[in-house]
Every structure is written in structure tokens, then in C-alpha cells.
């Protein structure tokens, strides 16, 4: 048995003394009584508040309003996984050629190599494929037998001959067993218009567009992220049965990041579910998938297999020619009032600026140039306003080189602090399957 120290003996002597016991019992009893008194007072206050609410809401009008509200409202905490899953709605974009100058790839500045490559390996084969599908669908619905001949018979005859020729061309093309890429990965620094280029591809193909940031699949419910993924792809496949669709998955690395030994079970389940749905897209030939990422080095290797992404496209910062076109597109082609501008100089001043930067510069300059117009609007209500003078001043509100140069000085490149070696290193590893633009 361990011998007591001097402190043990001292502590035992103090705590066993009559004075210590009396003081402890007194303090305990006083604190407990005070606590009971406070609890009793709180209960009285709660009862008073409850009675007040009952008096205020125990009326026929209040009861009827409460019943109507409760019948149409279900607290989120009580929603089932099935109910939550139904909230994953598709946002489908449809395009109309209102301005030929800004439709299709005419709106994408520079990038001649990218546009040519996508036209030859992606756009032209898919356009022909969709044309043949449309013709086949029409052939499945011939006119009713016994339909009388009319003056359009000659036109119908030419149409039939044309359709038969298309069919022969298609049969000849199919013999080469060409694999048309329908799963693309766009990667590169932020602000290089990966989303915008995807939209222009949809316009080229006359396809519908569904845009989705992958992080939106996330849910606080257990297994609900996987259910959201499954529900989304199911709806996308069903929609593609009506018309060709480009499915754009932005920030794909937010979900399909590299798996490690420390990955939790839920994350592994989500990645597995996504890959499972991705593989099943072969059942939807009219569904084209384009994914985008700023960090290709973060992607899980399973999604990068060649049979999942047929083509990987590196979208680089625009060169001088592209930057010049970007200024022309964002000023001239949208008919913004401007003086004669030196587009070559503007392109030189914006070295390493990306597409989004140049678009922002043009937008900012347009706001500055139009401020004087708002000032003129305020002058119209003045009793002494000179309308002729106001009309003359309208012509002075234009975009100038001075305004553009000042905006460039005040705008920092989006990739100024980006480690570009990320893309160079990844490009070396994927060189054989990647198109650099």
C-alpha cells in the first residue's frame, strides 16, 4: 500500500473537519434553493407566454389560416429521399439564330485549330448522324395507302431520291466503323470560355443544352447525392430521346476527385454511382457529354480512361489574334458606339488576359461611356432644357481608346497568379490523346 504524502494527510484533515462540512452543506443548500426559485419563475413566465399565444391564435380566422398553411407545407426535415430526388429538375436551353454574326463559332474568337478539329471530328459526323436518324424516323411513318396523287409528286420524287442517296452515303460511311467522339473533356485555366465554347457547339449542332455544376448533386442526406446523380442522368437520357442534347458538366473535379486510401464510404459511393451512370450513356446515342475542369490533375483516373472521354481538349489563354477578335466581337459585332479603335494595340496590352477578362473590360468601358447618357436623361425634365443640345451630346457618348486603355490598367489577368505548369505537366502525360489550342 502506498504511503500517504504530506499533502494527502493535510487534505484529509481539512475536509474531515466539522467547520468544512458545515460550510459545504450550507453553500449547497443555498445554491439548490436559488436554482429551484429560478426554475419556478421561468415556468410562470413560460405559462404566461403560452396563454398569450393561445388567446391570440384561438380565433376562427387564425385556425382556418393555420389549416390552409399546414396542408400545403411539409417541413424539409420530414422529406423522404424520394421527395428530395424529385427536386432535381433539368434546365434545358434552346437556341434561336437571331443574329448570324454571333451565332455558331462566329462568336468564338481565334482558336482556329480547335474549331477546325471539332468541325471535322465532331460536328460534321454528328450532323450527318442526326440527319440520317431523322430520315429514318420519317421513313417509319409513310403516308396512308391510297393517298391521291397531286402536284407535289415531282417534289416528293426528288426528296425520295435524295433520301435514298443519303442512305447509300451513310452505308458507305458506316463501313469504316468511325468512332464519333461524344464524350469530351475541356480543361485549362479559368476564364477561357469552356462553357461558352460548349454553347457554341450546341448551336452548331442545333442541339439542346443542359448545364450542370457537378457540386450541385451534393446533399446532406445519406445516399441522397447518389440518388440525385441517378435521377439527373435518367432525366437527361429521357430528354435526349426527343432531340440531340449536349450535357455540360462543369467543375467535374469537385465530385470526381482522386480517390485515396482515406476516402470515406459515401464519397466512394458517389463516384461509383457517377461512373455507373456515365457508362450507361451508351444507351443514349443522342446524348453528348462535355465535362470541364480547371484542375485536370485532381481528376480520378477512372474517369480519364480513353473509352470514357474520347477527346481531351486543352483550352489555352487566347493568343494575340484571338484577343484582337475578342475586342472586335465585344464592341463592333454587338454594335456598341465607338470611335476608331486600334485593335492591334489592345491585343498587345492584354497579353495573358483570358476571354472572360476581355469581355469584362468591354462591359466596364460600356458602362463608363453610357453614364453621360443617364445624365442627359436627368436634364430632360429641367424646365430650361435645350432639347437640341441634348440630342447633340448623345453622339459624344462613345467608347474610346482612352477608356479601354484605362480599363485594361485597372483589370488584373485572371491567370496572373495561376500555376500554369499544372497544365503543361498534365499535358505531357496526356499528349497522345489531347488537342492543344
DSSP tag of 211: E
Q: How many residues does the chain have?
A: 437
Report the chain's mean pLDDT, rounded to a whole number: 80
The three-class DSSP label of residue 185 is: strand
Query: Cα angle vertex 198, ends 192, 209, to 5°?
Result: 145
pLDDT reported for residue 146: 47
Give the pairing type, strands 92-93 and 183-187.
unpaired
Residue 259 has pLDDT above 70, yes or no: yes
φ/ψ (deg, to 5) at 411 = -110, 125
pLDDT reported for residue 237: 93
The three-class DSSP label of residue 284 is: coil
Residue 160 has pLDDT above 70, yes or no: yes
- Of residues 385 and 190, the one with the higher pLDDT is 190
Residue 381 has pLDDT above 60, yes or no: yes
- Of residues 4 and 351, the one with the higher pLDDT is 351
pLDDT reported for residue 32: 60
Q: Which of 107, 307, 71, 315 is nearest to 200 (CA)?
A: 107
- Could you count the other beta carbons within 10 Å of the beta carbon of residue 274? 25
- Of residues 293 and 31, the one with the higher pLDDT is 293
400: confidence class by pLDDT, cuts 50, 70, 90? very high
For residue 34, what are the contacts with CB-CB under 8 A and spacing of at least 6?
none
H or E element that contains 412: none
pLDDT reported for residue 2: 56
- Of residues 333 and 62, the one with the higher pLDDT is 333
pLDDT reported for residue 149: 45
Per residue in 168-216, pLDDT (tens digit) is 888 898 888 887 888 899 999 999 989 999 999 999 999 999 999 988 8
pLDDT reported for residue 29: 55
- The answer to whether domain 104-141+154-317 has CATH 2.40.50.140 is no
Q: Which of 199, 226, 26 is nearest to 103 (CA)?
A: 199
pLDDT reported for residue 65: 63
pLDDT reported for residue 147: 45
Q: Is 127 exposed, middle or buried (0-12, 13-18, 19+ CB in 10 A)?
A: middle
Task: Assess contact for 369 and 403: CB atoms under 8 A.
Answer: yes
CA–CA dist 106, 109 (Å, integer): 7
What is the rounded average pLDDT of the residues 306-319?
A: 82
CA–CA dist 391, 218 (Å, integer): 55
For residue 403, what are the contacts with CB-CB under 8 A and spacing of at least 6?
365, 368, 369
DSSP tag of 8: H
- Dig out the grid coordinates for 74 from the structure: 411539409
Domain extents in the chain: 9-69, 104-141+154-317, 320-414
The three-class DSSP label of residue 399 is: strand
The contacts found for 97-105 with CB under 8 angstroms, 24 or more apart, are 97/203, 101/333, 102/329, 102/333, 102/334, 103/203, 104/200, 104/203, 104/204, 105/200, 105/204
The three-class DSSP label of residue 4 is: coil
Whether the CA torsion 133, 98, 248, 209 is positive or negative: it is negative
Residue 425 has pLDDT above 50, yes or no: yes
Residue 295 has pLDDT above 80, yes or no: yes
320-414 — its CATH code?
A: 1.10.8.60
Residue 153 has pLDDT above 90, yes or no: no
Give the pairing type, strands 92-93 and 208-213.
antiparallel
φ/ψ (deg, to 5) at 191 = 85, 10
Amino acid at each position: 500500500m502506498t504511503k500517504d504524502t504530506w499533502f494527502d494527510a493535510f487534505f484529509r484533515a481539512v475536509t474531515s473537519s466539522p467547520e468544512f462540512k458545515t460550510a459545504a452543506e450550507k453553500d449547497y443548500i443555498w445554491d439548490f434553493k436559488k436554482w429551484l426559485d429560478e426554475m419556478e419563475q421561468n415556468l410562470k413566465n413560460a405559462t404566461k407566454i403560452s396563454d398569450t399565444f393561445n388567446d391570440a391564435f384561438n380565433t376562427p380566422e387564425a385556425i382556418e389560416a393555420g389549416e390552409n398553411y399546414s396542408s400545403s407545407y411539409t417541413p424539409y426535415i420530414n422529406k423522404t429521399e424520394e421527395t428530395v430526388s424529385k427536386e432535381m429538375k433539368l434546365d434545358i436551353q434552346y437556341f434561336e439564330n437571331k443574329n448570324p454574326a454571333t451565332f455558331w463559332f462566329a462568336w468564338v474568337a481565334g482558336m482556329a485549330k480547335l474549331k477546325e478539329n471539332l468541325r471535322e471530328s465532331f460536328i460534321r459526323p454528328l450532323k450527318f448522324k442526326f440527319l440520317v436518324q431523322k430520315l429514318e424516323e420519317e421513313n417509319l411513318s409513310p403516308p396512308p395507302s391510297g393517298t391521291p396523287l397531286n402536284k407535289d409528286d415531282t417534289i416528293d420524287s426528288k426528296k425520295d431520291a435524295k433520301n435514298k442517296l443519303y442512305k447509300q452515303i451513310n452505308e458507305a460511311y458506316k463501313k469504316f466503323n468511325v468512332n464519333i467522339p461524344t464524350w469530351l473533356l475541356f480543361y485549362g485555366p479559368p476564364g477561357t470560355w469552356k462553357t461558352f465554347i460548349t454553347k457554341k457547339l450546341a448551336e452548331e449542332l442545333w442541339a439542346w443544352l443542359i448545364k450542370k455544376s457537378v457540386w450541385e448533386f451534393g446533399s446532406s442526406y445519406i445516399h441522397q447525392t447518389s440518388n440525385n446523380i441517378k435521377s439527373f442522368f435518367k432525366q437527361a437520357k429521357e430528354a435526349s430521346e426527343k432531340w440531340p442534347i449536349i450535357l455540360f458538366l462543369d467543375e467535374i473535379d469537385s465530385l470526381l476527385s482522386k480517390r485515396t486510401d482515406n476516402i470515406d464510404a459515401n464519397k466512394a459511393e458517389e463516384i461509383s454511382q457517377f461512373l455507373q451512370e456515365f457508362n450507361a450513356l451508351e444507351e443514349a446515342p443522342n446524348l453528348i457529354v462535355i465535362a470541364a475542369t480547371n484542375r485536370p490533375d485532381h481528376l480520378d483516373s477512372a474517369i480519364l480512361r480513353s473509352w470514357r472521354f474520347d477527346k481531351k481538349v486543352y483550352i489555352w489563354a487566347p493568343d494575340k489574334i484571338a484577343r484582337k477578335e475578342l475586342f472586335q466581337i465585344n464592341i463592333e459585332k454587338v454594335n456598341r458606339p465607338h470611335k476608331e479603335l486600334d485593335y492591334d494595340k489592345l491585343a498587345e496590352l492584354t497579353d495573358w488576359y483570358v476571354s472572360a477578362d476581355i469581355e469584362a473590360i468591354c462591359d466596364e468601358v460600356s458602362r463608363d461611356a453610357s453614364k453621360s447618357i443617364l445624365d442627359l436623361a436627368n436634364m430632360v425634365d429641367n424646365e430650361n432644357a435645350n432639347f437640341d443640345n441634348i440630342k447633340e451630346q448623345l453622339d459624344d457618348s462613345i467608347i474610346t481608346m482612352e477608356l479601354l486603355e484605362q480599363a485594361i490598367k485597372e483589370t488584373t489577368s485572371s491567370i496572373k497568379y495561376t500555376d500554369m505548369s499544372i497544365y503543361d505537366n498534365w499535358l505531357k502525360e496526356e499528349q497522345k490523346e489531347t488537342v492543344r489550342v
